Chains A and B, each alone.
Chain A
Amino acid sequence: MSKLLTLENVTAFYGASQALFGVNLEIGKGEVVALMGRNGMGKTTTIRTICRMLPHSSGRIFFAGQNLEKMPSHKAARLGLGLVPEGRRCFSGLTVHENLLAASRDGYWTFQQVSELFPRLSERRDQFANTLSGGEQQMLSIGRALMTNPKLLILDEATEGLAPVVRQEIWSAMFKLKDEGLSILVIDKSLRELTAIADHCAILEKGATCWSGITADLVPDITDRYLGV
């Protein structure tokens, strides 16, 4: 399987303090990869680095055959990185339809397609984003990322803080996206759901990749060692 995203020994700093100490990650086309690790291990920082919101100081990041070094964030996004950030962060003063339209780029994903994936968004079409429930905002955030017609969908804390029923809806949508062949990098707290959807997993500890492999190899011994509280 050809690699869509490759991170090789990536390090990154917040000011003087080092946050990533050597992250290695590979995502193939049509593959779902779960990025795991306890809180503060560098998952979000890794995503920020991939999306060029934080420059990496050493190592290499390749996406869709291009070196992302020195590439500004908006250009990386145009290459096909679709980010669903932690905490949703929809454009609160815009309606659902406007949120989706503001992000849209030509391709398979249109308002119609997003509405079919999340019928609730269609029902709330003219509602301002800040009047939506948390789950609806997360659907909108995923929809907004899809409207950019990404090659890789990146979800940071995909279902954090959502009611179980809504979580189930989000996971169902992600399974549909996987079935459609979209590459996905996902972070979430729910190990059960992550292992159900992911083809591969990578675990971060203290800002470095400590384990990676196919999901079937993620035995309890490893999860207890790296993910146990």
Chain B
Amino acid sequence: MTRETTVNIALAIALLAVPIGAQFADHPFIITLSTKVAIFAIAGVGLNIALGYGGLISFGHAAFFGLGGYAAGILASQALNYEPLVTWPFEIQGTTQMLIIWPVALCICGAAALVIGAMSLRTGGVYFIMITLAFAQMIYYFAISWPAYGGEDGLSIYVRSKFPGLNTLDPITFFAICFALLIAVLGFSVLLTHSRFGLALSAARQNPQRLTSVGVRPFQVQLTAFVISGMITGLAGALYADLNRFVSPAMFSWHTSGEIMIFVILGGVGRLFGPLAGAALFILLEHLLGGITEFWQFLLGMLLLLIVLFARGGLIGLLAGGRGNV
């Protein structure tokens, strides 16, 4: 077992142990924080596929986070109001079933990522960053000016979506769902990065022309990765909507894109458990330093600066050493 695997297992156990301990100590707030870590980590795992393995610096992943959130919010809101979502050509009802909401969120985010990726990937470098940002901001301003679903005020969902056989309103149960999904997407990420596709994605980051010369078109590989990445981040958005029982245009804003990127960078770009480590550190800093000073983000900025300058492997790199995938 490598040192990184040990660190990864320790992190997963820690994320599991904290809310279980909080359950026994009757601290539901800690469980909610742990759930938030798991959800943010899922969003980061999504971005890590594009950014870490594919070298695609997307500054617009908030678009997928928000679309996933709004998919959950709109479906639940329509179901709770007993109003069909669509009446023509056939009637589609809203739903509060997670097992329906998740695939819908995944499909919407996949379609959006396909369009955004197909256009953005025709550029590179700073233009890719700006186009992904522009798409996210475009959707952000659309959400603000969409009164049907709360516009700038956002949309309250009132009840948490349901999962067959589970009481999702119980914080520890909802955490368990999010944790299980996190493990699932991490497992998927391992399979993906070790597959021939994953290797081609890494190769496309390092030398696209060389990859072309062995018969693989980098555009297709990168677009597929971008779509998968957007879908996973969208799933996190759907869970986040259920966690807060509220969605707002802020989910689409560039702040959110920046935060997802910070999770990945803090934890370690291209490191499997980097997003989890980064999200946990972010939430920890937010609540520890946020209680001391309202300028906690200044300190976060300093930490980010130190990591970028002196610890490129992020927290996982510091703990486990090695070079990861980047």
Q: Which residues of A contact B (CB under 8 A)?
A: 51, 53, 72-75, 77-78, 82-83, 85, 89, 91-94, 98-99, 101-105, 128, 144-145, 147-148
A94–B196 contact, CB under 8 A?
Answer: no
On chain A, the residues within 8 Å of B165 by CB distance are: none
Q: How distant is the Cα of A35 from the Cα of B199 in the complex, in angstroms?
A: 33
Q: How distant is the Cα of A72 from the Cα of B323 in the complex, in angstroms?
A: 34
Determine, out of B5-13, B58-66, B211-219, the stretch whose residues face the partner at the interface: B211-219
B111-151 toward A: CB 8 Å interface, digit per residue (1/0)? 00000000000000000000000000000000000000000
Q: Kindly state whether residue B206 has any CB partner on chain A within 8 Å.
A: yes
On chain B, the residues within 8 Å of A102 by CB distance are: 196, 199-200, 202-203, 211, 214, 216
Contact of A89 among B199, B207, B215, B325 (CB under 8 A): B207
Contact of B217 among A72, A83, A101 (CB under 8 A): A72
Q: Which residue of A lies closest to B197 (CB)?
A: A102
Residues from 168 to 226 in B contacting A, C-beta threshold 8 Å: 196, 199-200, 202-203, 205-207, 209-217
Contact of A74 among B203, B207, B216, B323 (CB under 8 A): B216
A91–B215 contact, CB under 8 A?
Answer: no
A94–B212 contact, CB under 8 A?
Answer: no
Q: How distant is the Cα of A144 from the Cα of B203 in the complex, in angstroms?
A: 12
A51–B213 contact, CB under 8 A?
Answer: yes
State the Cβ distance, A68 to closest chain B Cβ, in Å: 14
Contact of A85 among B213, B216, B323 (CB under 8 A): B213
Q: How distant is the Cα of A172 from the Cα of B202 in the complex, in angstroms?
A: 32
Q: Kindly state whether residue B300 has any CB partner on chain A within 8 Å.
A: no
A83–B213 contact, CB under 8 A?
Answer: yes
11 contacts between A and B (CB under 8 A): A53-B209, A53-B212, A53-B213, A74-B212, A74-B213, A74-B215, A74-B217, A91-B203, A92-B206, A102-B200, A102-B202
Indicate whether A77 sits within 8 Å of B199 (C-beta atoms), given known contacts A72-B217, A92-B206, A93-B206: no
Instruction: How many A-B residue pairs have C-beta atoms within 8 angstroms? Tell me.
Output: 66
| Interface size of B in residues (CB-CB distance below 8 Å) | 20
Q: How distant is the Cα of A90 from the Cα of B216 in the complex, in angstroms?
A: 15
On chain B, the residues within 8 Å of A148 by CB distance are: 214-215
Q: Kindly state whether residue B326 has any CB partner on chain A within 8 Å.
A: yes
B3-29 toward A: CB 8 Å interface, digit per residue (1/0)? 000000000000000000000000000
Contact of B214 among A53, A75, A98, A103 (CB under 8 A): A103
Contact of A104 among B196, B207, B213, B326 (CB under 8 A): B196
On chain A, the residues within 8 Å of B205 by CB distance are: 93
Q: Which residue of B lies closest to A141 (CB)?
A: B210
Q: Which residue of B lies closest to A89 (CB)?
A: B210
On chain A, the residues within 8 Å of B215 by CB distance are: 74-75, 77-78, 103, 105, 148
B212–A73 contact, CB under 8 A?
Answer: yes
Indicate whether A93 sits within 8 Å of B214 (C-beta atoms), given known contacts A53-B209, A101-B196, A102-B200: no
Q: How distant is the Cα of A99 from the Cα of B206 in the complex, in angstroms?
A: 11
State the Cβ distance, A126 to closest chain B Cβ, in Å: 12
On chain B, the residues within 8 Å of A77 by CB distance are: 212-215
Contact of A94 among B203, B209, B217 (CB under 8 A): B203
Q: How distant is the Cα of A75 from the Cα of B207 in the complex, in angstroms?
A: 17
State the Cβ distance, A174 to closest chain B Cβ, in Å: 19
Q: How distant is the Cα of A89 from the Cα of B210 in the complex, in angstroms?
A: 7
B209–A91 contact, CB under 8 A?
Answer: no
Q: Which residue of B lies closest to A148 (CB)?
A: B214
B209–A93 contact, CB under 8 A?
Answer: no
On chain B, the residues within 8 Å of A83 by CB distance are: 213-214
Contact of B325 among A78, A82, A93, A103 (CB under 8 A): A93
A91–B207 contact, CB under 8 A?
Answer: yes
Q: How distant is the Cα of A51 from the Cα of B162 in the complex, in angstroms?
A: 56
Q: How distant is the Cα of A147 from the Cα of B199 in the complex, in angstroms?
A: 14
